[in-house]
Amino acid sequence: MKYEDIIKNKEIIEYYERGNAILDALGYTDHSTVHTKLVANKAADILESFGYGQDLIELVKIAGYMHDIGNAINRHHHAEYGAILANEILKETDLELADRVRIVSAIANHDESDGVASDPVSAALIIADKTDVRRSRVREKDPMLFDIHDRVNHAVTGTRLRCGREEKRITLYLTIDEEICTMYEYFDIFLDRMTMCSHAARILDARFSLKVNGQKVL
């Protein structure tokens, strides 16, 4: 089973369409396959940058793509629900048991409320997911109706994740329009996520940094 097969899986696509519709009704930012494919590719780039083999890169791409399917059940505990759904789907593939469990565990532990990185796959998934901050995640609606999540994402006019293997550092560079969102608002939403990224980076024998508008803030 390869990543290319997973992204064509009709059951997974249906879960994402339903889950994204639910989150739209709840007022959340985009959680469609646009987000999950980006996470999959970014997580793969992270592992590749730090010299991990193609076997783990393939697993993290699958985990990255499938990590949010639990939203189709409920936003609360979506990581755990997603892990259960992923396990049932992946049981029908030719994945080795150990690889399937590694993917399922990474999905179950990607949420900052109670998750934790425990190996390179879960670490790269967490960093890729939590650093997906961008204006295009905000759904089209009247800016007067934006909540804090909308404002924070809409304020980000530029984003780049850099992985430096030699200096053992992962840095998220953001350009934020502070007339739309203050730094206090950003950290009110993202501090727990950035802290989770810091722990995940240590699993990869690296440090996590955040630079906003050219200034190091973490």
User: Could you read off the pLDDT of 14-71 as tens digits, one per residue?
Assistant: 999 999 999 999 989 989 999 999 999 999 999 999 999 999 999 999 999 999 999 9
Total tally of structural domains belonging to the chain: 1
Find the mean pLDDT for residues 91-98: 97
How far is the C-alpha of 36 from the C-alpha of 148, rounded, in Å? Answer: 22
Amino acid identity of 96? Answer: E
In this prediction, residue 186 carries a pLDDT of 86
Token pair for 27:
């007022």
Query: What phi, psi does 62 have (nearest 5°)?
Result: -65, -45
| Three-class secondary structure of residue 174 per DSSP | strand
Task: For residue range 58-73, list pLDDT tens digits in order.
Answer: 999 999 999 999 999 9
Write down the residue that tokens 């990185």 correspond to: 117
How far is the C-alpha of 136 from the C-alpha of 139, rounded, in Å? Answer: 7
Of the chain, the end-to-end C-alpha distance in Å amounts to 39
How far is the C-alpha of 87 from the C-alpha of 70, rounded, in Å? Answer: 12
Q: Kindly report the average pLDDT of the chain as a whole number.
A: 95
Residue 60's domain comprises 3-216
Task: For residue range 169-217, list pLDDT tens digits in order.
Answer: 999 999 999 999 888 888 888 999 999 999 999 999 999 999 999 988 8
Greater pLDDT, 145 or 94? 94
Residue 99 has pLDDT above 80, yes or no: yes
What's this model's pTM, rounded to 2 decimal places?
0.95
Task: For residue range 109-167, list pLDDT tens digits in order.
Answer: 999 999 999 999 999 999 999 999 999 999 877 787 788 888 889 999 999 999 999 99
* 199 beta partners: none
Cβ-Cβ contacts under 8 Å for 62 (sequence gap 6 or more): 1, 3, 6, 40, 90, 103
How far is the C-alpha of 36 from the C-alpha of 39, rounded, in Å? Answer: 5
CATH of the domain at 74: 1.10.3210.10
Buried b (16+ CB within 10 A) or exposed e, 94-123: ebeeebbebbbbbbbbbbbeebebeebbbb
The alpha-helical segments, DSSP class H, found in the chain are 3-6, 10-26, 33-49, 54-66, 78-90, 97-108, 120-130, 148-155, 183-203
Question: How many C-alpha atoms does 113 have within 13 Å on its Cβ side?
Answer: 7
Percent of the chain exceeding pLDDT 90 equals 83
